[in-house]
């Protein structure tokens, strides 16, 4: 048996390092596809840029309506003075869907009592941010909402 110099790495430790590196490489090649697999690919039909939210024939002042904007809900409101406003209906607190309360003339979230004014500003309760505003356009009787 050849005597090893103590300051030189032995053949065994060299092989162990090599083995360790290949195990790491192997683990990487198994884990990489798994991590990538969890990245949810975008679904094209999920994200329309604009939708017809409501018809002026049915929407009256001091009234709100929830509409589907792709996979998430939006809210369209006609204020008591007849102005149209649209926001994302997803509460900025914990993702519940908000609704318009004609009695309060506010947007209210029933889950934790969050309140937004008619400009979508968070005015009381837990919501940390205003609701995301959308652009509103009238075309004939149709109210068209698009992402700003």
Partner 1 sequence: MKRTLMDRVLDWLRPRLPVDAAIEFAEHKSVPAYKGSVWYYFGGVSLFLFIVQVTTGILLIMYYQPGLQTAYESVRFTVVHVRFGWLVRSIHTWSANLMIFAVFVHMFSVFFTRAFRRPRELTWFSGLVLLALCLGFGFSGYLLPWNTLAFFATKVGTAIVATTPFIGKGVMEILRGGKDVGAETLTRFFGLHVAIMPALFTVILTVHLTLVQIQGMHEPHEWASAPESEKRRMPFFPNFILRDLLLWLIVLNVLAILAVMFPWEIGHKADPSAAAPLGIKPEWYFLFMYQALKFFPGKILGLDGDAVGVVLFAIGGLLWALVPIWDVRLPEGARNRVVTYVGLVVVLAIIVLTGIGLS
Which residues, 6 or more positions from 38, have their beta carbon under 8 angstroms from its beta carbon?
none
Task: Report in angstroms the alpha-carbon separations of 36 from 27, 29, 40.
Answer: 14, 11, 9
Closest to partner 1 by CB, 2 or 34: 34
Report the nearest approach of partner 1 to the CB of residue 32 (Å). 8
Report the nearest approach of partner 1 to the CB of residue 70 (Å). 17
Report the nearest approach of partner 1 to the CB of residue 22 (Å). 10
Report the nearest approach of partner 1 to the CB of residue 116 (Å). 34
Residues 7-46 that bind partner 1 (CB under 8 A): 26, 33-34, 36-41, 43
| Phi, psi dihedral angles at 78 (to 5 degrees) | -105, 115
Told to check if 6 binds partner 1 by CB under 8 A, we report no
Report the nearest approach of partner 1 to the CB of residue 47 (Å). 15
x/- string (CB under 8 A) for partner 1, residues 101-120? --------------------
d(CA 133, CA 113): 20
Closest to partner 1 by CB, 21 or 104: 21
**Which residues of the chain form contacts with partner 1 (CB under 8 A)?**
26, 33-34, 36-41, 43
């Amino acid at each position: 048996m050849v005597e090893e110099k103590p300051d030189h790495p032995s053949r065994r430790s060299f092989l162990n390092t090599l083995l360790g590196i290949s195990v790491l490489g192997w683990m990487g090649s198994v884990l990489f596809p798994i991590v990538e697999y969890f990245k949810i690919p975008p679904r094209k039909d999920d994200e329309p840029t604009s939708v017809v939210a409501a018809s002026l024939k049915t929407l009256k002042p001091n009234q709100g309506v929830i509409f589907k904007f792709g996979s998430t809900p939006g809210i369209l409101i006609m204020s008591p003075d007849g102005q149209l406003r649209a926001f994302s209906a997803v509460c900025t607190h914990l993702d519940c869907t908000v609704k318009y309360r004609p009695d309060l003339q506010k947007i209210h979230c029933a889950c934790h009592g969050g309140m937004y004014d008619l400009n979508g500003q968070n005015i009381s309760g837990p919501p940390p941010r205003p609701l995301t505003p959308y652009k509103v356009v009238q075309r004939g009787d149709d109210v068209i909402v698009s992402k700003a």
